[in-house]
Amino acid sequence: MGAALTLLGGVLAAAPPAVSAPVAAGASAETLAPTPPMGFNNWNAFGCDVSEALIRETADVLVSSGLAELGYEYVNIDDCWSMRERGPDGRLVPDPVKFPNGIAGLADYVHGKGLKLGIYGDAGTRTCAGYPGSLGKEDIDAQTWADWGVDYLKYDNCHNQSDGSQADFVRRYTAMREALDRTGRPIVYAICEWGQSRPWEWAHDVGDLWRTTGDISDNWPSLRSIIAQNAPLHPYAGPGNWNDPDMLEIGNGGMTATEYRTHLSMWAMMAAPLLIGTDLRTASPDTLAILGNREVVAIDQDRLGVQAAVLEDRDGLMVLDKPLADGDRAIALYNSTDALATVDVEASATGLPAAGAYQLRDVWTGQVRQAGTTISAAVPAHGTVVYRVRALDDPGSTAPLVTAGAALGTLVPGAEGGTLTTTATNRGAGPIHHVEVSVRAPQGWSVVTTSPADQSELAPDASLSTTWTVTAPEGTAAGAHPITVTADYMWGPHHTPGSTTSELVTTVVTAPPDGRRHLGTLEPVRAAGARGPVEVDLSVGGAAEGDGSLITIGGRVHTRGLGTAAPSEIVYYLGGRCSSLTTDVGLDDAATAAVPAAFTVLADDEVVASAENVLAGQAPRTLVADLTGATWLRLVATGSGPAPDGTVVNDSADWAAPVLTCGDVSPDDPVLPVERTLVSFESGTEDWTIANPGDGGTMARSSAFHTDGEYGLQVDTPLSGNWFGRVLPEPLDLSGFSALRFDVRGGATSGTTGEIAVQVGPDLSWCQGGRWAWTGAGASRTVSAAFAEIECPAGVQLDLTQIRALWVFLNGGDRVHIDNVRAAEE
């Protein structure tokens, strides 16, 4: 459905907390980052695959592409750049294979290009990938980096040995601040503690910028979650002190062009650092065009250094207002929903001066329009419209702002058509004439108007609403399909022709295919919870995507399921093809509610299974729902809150191991997607060994954590880590599978890195994934490596019929538990 958001005469959002004015970090009076830092960091695109050649070639492209001219000046090296151990003098040692000329030689090259070099460190005993950390070594490391000519430090938070208090975070990060100051070299200091200790409250006199969230991922839920967390922190930013919502994913392929434009738009509005995280050497023209948008970058780099205030944040729509040094305002209209939405804000609710009209320049299209009282846009799903706005004395010579909004529900191929509603609205200072709305749908679709689609005149702020019947033909594929809505009109004394177009993306649903499958592998039509997103195969942790642990109910751990915060609702289209749903339900063991919850399964609004009075700590309850003939399936969790002390509680309500059965199947058919357990530790350690015995580590079977059977593997990890696994007596044939997985629970006081490797062929060639998944202390998750991402030495192919050994990497110097090493289909 479409949506509208209007601010009438004032700001509806809660007032931000009062804070002291930010001050420049460090002992020097110089502001090292008067505007948000811009540049490149290798981690998002390359992980540990960093090298001197990559950094040199990226520096070359920054200059040749013109990005350096825009301000992208820092070329930053992330984790995995050093040797695993320090040198005899206690100093960090660059990996001589990756960096044959050392960091100092690389810095000389980068500086010669007119750019600056960044490095990575960690406020713990080890980095996230297990390399030497700087805890207790701050002075020698700071001086080493200064001696090399480093200009920027990203300082991470893994293996931090922390008691979790804010005081400890302040102590650890201040220690490096003071060490950097003692070197006398100006080094921008980026605090990367993931927002755990609310650094925006204390880091303004410690760092130049500070991470406010966990790591970003190249997908829409991650981007949406990070925007929601960082946008409200606008009172804490200012010249030399920046909220950092993490690096850019633009160009890495996991999002649409619309979503990537939102990425840069919202980072610019939030005065965020702009650190490119894609391979610039192979970047497409479209990627370079987004990153190189001068008007958007100018908003980010505006010398006032003000992060945009959130004027409104409701129902997935957000309005932001950012003052600019020349007196203009940047106004962003952001739509995080899955449908086209009209977003409005009255000019009087912003920081704009009172005026009869306003000039609006769209910083993505370059289009200039005039508006009277209301700034508005029909914003596509996941999109953001950013206007640069100023008062306008004479609007008569500027085309008016006209919006074309639309709303259409879910369509079923071949079924009775859905109702499309279009709304053309004149936001200009004068009337428009001869307004006519048209709709273009995909070829073969039927679009029939059921009310007038034209009008002779629209006064300022008046609208023309039209209804249509839209039918998708039989055989239309499930998924998103575009529908274009156009409003044509005449404006001004000479009846100049004008036009505005919006794209509505409608969802076509089809029934699930035959088979028994984990429900979380199907895309819901709608999913919403009280706190954070509905999680797949995890419980809900907080507001961010993927911040929970494996679903655990009454001590039983599940690797499949849907985690929600009640009240919640998840809706699926079945089309009358499915027969049953079986699921366990309960409040997650992480829940704190002392009040009961209820779980209800509805088939076409009829209750077909339910569990009442479910309390935290109870064993899961099993529900079996008859779905025969049902068109729609709804899963509803309710009842959490208020607690006895009067607070409202939205606790973790889990649907564990939900299996949907559709079509003509046998009860003996496997649940899809198929997984094959390779190691379950039910009979002991199953001949697992340690790849590098001299690096330490021990193993023993344990019942303390298990996701398959009754036992798992307890691993006492060395601080710097080791590989645990075994060489197989016979080659393993994993053809037909696409990934390897294992389940892990971090130690009580320290998290662990998780990684997967295999050995293949008669020579036992070592092939390894490039992503080091982090699991925090006490948390649990599934670590996965797709075979497509596992890299082998030059000349070696990953032959899935000749897997000769399985290995997992763990570290942290703590007791970690793992279980259920398996091959999986995707």
Catalytic residue ranges: 156, 215
Whether the link from the prior residue into 232 is cis, omega within 30° of 0, is no
Q: Which residues contact 26 (CB under 8 A, 6 or more apart)?
A: 32, 177, 180, 181, 189, 208
Q: How far apart, in whole angstroms, are the C-alpha atoms of residue 821 and residue 780?
A: 14
Q: Which residues contact 307 (CB under 8 A, 6 or more apart)?
A: 233, 234, 236, 237, 238, 242, 243, 269, 270, 271, 322
Element (H, E) at 752: strand 752-760
Q: Could you tell me where the beta strands, DSSP code E, fall in 566-603?
A: 568-573, 578-587, 597-603
CA distances from 709 to 72, 679, 706, 725, 823 (A): 52, 11, 7, 19, 17
Asked if 752 contacts 736 with a C-beta cutoff of 8 angstroms, the reply is no
Asked if 35 contacts 302 with a C-beta cutoff of 8 angstroms, the reply is yes
Asked if 361 contacts 324 with a C-beta cutoff of 8 angstroms, the reply is no
Q: Which residues contact 10 (CB under 8 A, 6 or more apart)?
A: 348, 349
Q: How far apart, in whole angstroms, are the C-alpha atoms of residue 755 and residue 768?
A: 8
Q: How far apart, in whole angstroms, are the C-alpha atoms of residue 248 and residue 44?
A: 8
DSSP of 648-684: ----EEEEEEEEEEESS--TTSPEESPEEEEE--TTS
Closest CA to 669 of 522, 515, 521: 515
Q: Which residue's entry shows tokens 């009087």?
A: 348
Residue 200 corresponds to which amino acid?
W
> DSSP assignment, residue 216?
-
- Residue 616 corresponds to which tokens in the numbers above? 């935290």
Strand order of the sheet with strand 358-362? 309-314, 317-323, 329-335, 384-391, 358-362, 368-371
- Residue 671 corresponds to which tokens in the numbers above? 């649940």
Element (H, E) at 59: helix 52-64
Q: How far apart, in whole angstroms, are the C-alpha atoms of residue 148 and residue 91?
A: 12
> DSSP assignment, residue 126?
B
Provide the terminal-to-terminal Cα distance of the chain, rounded to the nearest Å.
31
Closest CA to 240 of 450, 28, 31: 31
Question: Coil, helix or strand for 214?
Answer: coil
List beta partners, residue 479: 508
Q: How far apart, in whole angstroms, are the C-alpha atoms of residue 352 and residue 357?
A: 11
Antiparallel, parallel or unpaired: β 242-244 and 209-211:
parallel
- Residue 208 corresponds to which tokens in the numbers above? 């130049």
- Residue 549 corresponds to which tokens in the numbers above? 């642990």
- Residue 300 corresponds to which tokens in the numbers above? 């980010």
Sign of CA dihedral 304, 379, 570, 508: negative
- Cα–Cα–Cα angle for 447, 451, 454, nearest 5°? 95
For the chain, the C-alpha Rg in angstroms (whole number) is 28
- Cα–Cα–Cα angle for 129, 134, 137, nearest 5°? 150
Q: How far apart, in whole angstroms, are the C-alpha atoms of residue 181 and residue 183?
A: 5
Q: How far apart, in whole angstroms, are the C-alpha atoms of residue 330 and residue 699?
A: 58
Element (H, E) at 269: helix 257-269
